[in-house]
Amino acid sequence: MASGNRRVVVTQRFFDQATIDYLEAAGCEVVQADLPPGQADGNLTHVELRERLQGAAGWIVGHARVTRELLADLPDLKVISRRGVGYDRVDLNAARDLGRVVCIAVGGNHESVADHTIALMLAVGHRFRQTQEQMIGGNWSILLGSDLYRKTVGIIGLGRIGRSLVRRLSGFEAEILTCGGHHDAAYEDGAGIRRVGLDELLAQSDYVSLHAPLTSETRHIIGWDALVKMKRTAFLINAARGGLVDDEALLKALQMGVIAGAGLDVYLSEADAAFKPVTQALIELPNVIATPHSAASSREGLDRTNMVAARSVVAVLDGGDPAAECIVADGRGK
């Protein structure tokens, strides 16, 4: 085992004791950042992050922005390990230039996100929110909902989460369409998935579910032009990244009845506070089921991703390599 600095700072909430025990058994000093109630590490400023991370060799991070400036201010930091799979908030070029390793927690939370996606589909389709609000007010009249059973579901992004969703949808006897991303003909044929163009997917799907990474190509893949191609009875589900959807266009579409509803776990306002009024307007709509970027936050899912993130940290501090699928930047050769 490599010696030297093994201080690991965790800026995520819900970090389980078993993972802490694993890190300590590997000779790490574990420091959990003291965050005010209701605050996540994505809300911390550069100065606040720098203060909490001084002297750390490893950082297990959630949604904080990992900038070139921050990395330059933390010369002892060797490895940044995300408890999650997105890395659009990490400056990977800076990490490589400055000799750092950046990892993601592949394989930890995809089952939890797939469960949550099904929950969003059922909740918005069956109008759970509207029904309960009526009941609270004393109105027990029945609102007709929409089945998921034998409906057409368009999945944009067939990675681990998308494939986990496919397995769940088989129980609903859903017809599944997909477009974009990596084409695995053997898998798609075996799972009965039909690959189509985006326009056809939008036009035919009763539920459109986003599971793609946020890139320059996928940013705002669902904007006004896409929304007006969807069925008026269709639902949009986004448990991936806020930037995949133009939230202003979605708000307009929902208000005008262009689509029937939406299940949302992510929002543009997470990356840009200027969109907070749009997010607030969205979550107040009766035909929206909203959750606070919590799709991966089941007890079991967080325990799994905590451990995957921790194993990557230990591997780097030991002078070795994390699992290849977890590495998204490695500047140690510089």
Told to judge if 200 belongs to the known catalytic residues of this protein, a careful annotator would answer: no
Region of residue 239 (phi > 0: left; psi between -120 and 50: alpha; otherwise: beta): alpha
* Rounded Cα distance, 71 and 11, in Å: 15
Pick the closest to residue 88 from 245, 322, 244 (CA basis): 244
Pick the closest to residue 84 from 45, 113, 44 (CA basis): 113
Told to judge if 241 belongs to the known catalytic residues of this protein, a careful annotator would answer: yes
Tokens describing residue 36: 């005010």
Out of 293, 299, 304, 332, pick the active-site residue: 293
Domains and CATH numbers, the chain: 7-108+297-330 (3.40.50.720), 110-290 (3.40.50.720)
Contact criterion met (CB below 8 Å) for 85 and 104: yes
Told to judge if 48 belongs to the known catalytic residues of this protein, a careful annotator would answer: no
Contact criterion met (CB below 8 Å) for 208 and 236: yes
Out of 241, 248, 325, 332, pick the active-site residue: 241
Tokens describing residue 309: 């993130």
Q: For each of the chain's 334 residues, which pLDDT tens digit applies?
A: 445 799 999 999 889 999 999 999 999 999 999 887 778 898 899 999 999 999 999 999 998 999 999 999 999 999 999 998 888 899 999 999 999 999 999 988 999 999 999 999 999 999 999 999 999 999 999 999 999 999 999 999 999 999 999 999 999 999 999 998 888 999 999 999 999 999 999 999 999 999 998 999 999 999 999 999 999 999 999 999 999 999 999 999 999 999 999 999 999 999 899 999 999 999 999 999 999 999 999 999 999 999 999 999 999 999 999 999 999 999 998 6
Out of 7, 52, 82, 270, pick the active-site residue: 270
Tokens describing residue 141: 């009249």
pTM across the whole model:
0.87
